[in-house]
Amino acid sequence: MSKIYPDKGKTYSSWQEEYKSKLVTAEDAAKLVRNNDVIMLAGGINIPHDFSVELSKRAEDLRNVTICLGLALKLYDYMQPQYKEHFRIETPFVGPVERMCLDWKTAEYIPVHLNQLAPWMEYRKPRIVGFGVTPPDENGYMNRSCFGGLVPRPSIANAEIVLAEVNSNLPWLNGDDLRIHVSEIDYFYESDATPTEIPEIPITDIERDIAHYIADLIPDGSTIQLGLGGLANAIGYFLKDKKDLGVHSEVVQNSFMELMKTGVVNNSKKNLHPGKLTATFCVGDKKLWDYCDRNEDFLFTEVAYNNDPYVIGQNDNLISVNNALCMDLTGQVGAESIRHRQYSGTGGQVNFVTGANFSKGGKSIMSLNSTYKDKDGNLKSTIVPFIPPGTIVTTSRNDIEYIITEYGVVNLKYQGVSQRVKKMISIAHPQFRDELNFQARRIGWI
């Protein structure tokens, strides 16, 4: 590489000349990293793969490098426990890779709402920002693709070095927020790495039961938000007879694609961005990426806008559907940890719960499997008198509305504690209702 730092003042006769001038190898890009750096990398399939591989090869040469990323789909060598003195990961997302890193003490979870990534990065001040992009179009614009909306524009503007991995396997997602010009990048390298697909999670019988109840709460013409996983796919199945649904959601997954193909989701009744499915990022497989590629029925925006509760609430009849891991009898939601162990993240749950409360005719729905099995195979209730010690409360009981398990639906909004307790017991697994009643009476709630 002929230079260590980009010549930001240089002028070029064309974007093609500029692109060629900034083109380096992934190995040279990794050499830009130095001790004590803070680096922000995009998440998911937009984490620059070749850079991460080459950076791992430099692990022994570097110290105290902090990498801010989320939802890693590959375990890179620099994440391994033997390099904990060399690299430190900070993440507001927790998936399987992050869980391993948390156990190894090579990563630390950052509690933050999803719409607050920009202020977090303003605090961390990354010197290098890196992400995957599509190849340039005829005007020199690239697309930041599936996870680009999670890399804040201010972080790109303020970074000393902006690095892009150019990969023709990435889809071009509609939305000006995701366009970025060759002139805004300091270094490029080209890659043909195959993006990691996330297969659809199979639907369980319990999820089918819960999805049936949820579908009954979604009238024609509503705007919906769904999360990831089997439940979202199950809900999609039960919405096939609905009409004129819209979507304002942080994530697009395969179930939305199927609803759009059948015309159930046409976004015609939305107050905000009518005719467009609005979202920030896209998680799925090649079938979904091909469907989203240059599809103008979508509008992808940065998360600071998409997940702003005031923006969400501009849609009338906004119905937010989120998941819980456990709940107490008064309505507190534990959705991200199993006791002290971080299992997922806060994500956009509170953003959309709040947005639904702002929406005229909006509804906030929290779904919960009534039981789980412990490590010995014993059946346990997820509805408990008190949140277990160490468990993080994700959503306050003050903001909770509809709660759904496979045993029914209750509405806790504006209900007193005794009414809440009785309603929560009514949707607990029948095996545990007597004990929950006994505990509630012993405490004095009923």
Structure tokens, 378: 């014993």
Within a 13 Å sphere around the CA of 364, how many CA atoms are in the beta-carbon half? 27
**What is the tally of helices (H) and strands (E) in the chain?**
15, 26
Return the number of other C-beta atoms located less than 10 Å from residue 4's C-beta: 10
> 355: closest CA among 232, 244, 224?
224
CA distance 56 to 106: 14
Q: Would you call 214 helix, strand, or coil by DSSP?
A: helix
CA distance 223 to 320: 9
- List the catalytic residue out of 18, 250, 336, 401: 250
**Dmax of the chain from CA atoms?**
79
Vertex 23: Cα angle to 190 and 127 (nearest 5): 95
Any long-range contacts for 17-21 (C-beta under 8 Å, 24+ apart)? 18/140, 18/182, 18/183, 19/136, 19/140, 19/182, 19/188
Structure tokens, 289: 């990426």
Is 237 in contact with 262 (CB distance < 8 Å)? no
**What residues have CB less than 8 Å from 393, skipping those under 6 apart?**
332, 333, 334, 387
**What residues have CB less than 8 Å from 149, skipping those under 6 apart?**
175, 177, 178, 280, 281, 300, 301, 302, 303, 306
Return the number of other C-beta atoms located less than 10 Å from residue 173's C-beta: 29
Within a 13 Å sphere around the CA of 51, how many CA atoms are in the beta-carbon half? 29
CA distance 306 to 107: 27
Q: Say whether 250 is catalytic.
A: yes
Chain length of the chain: 446
Q: Would you call 291 helix, strand, or coil by DSSP?
A: helix
Any long-range contacts for 154-158 (C-beta under 8 Å, 24+ apart)? 154/118, 154/121, 154/122, 155/40, 155/118, 155/121, 155/122, 155/126, 155/129, 156/129, 156/180, 156/184, 158/122, 158/125
Positions marked active-site: 250
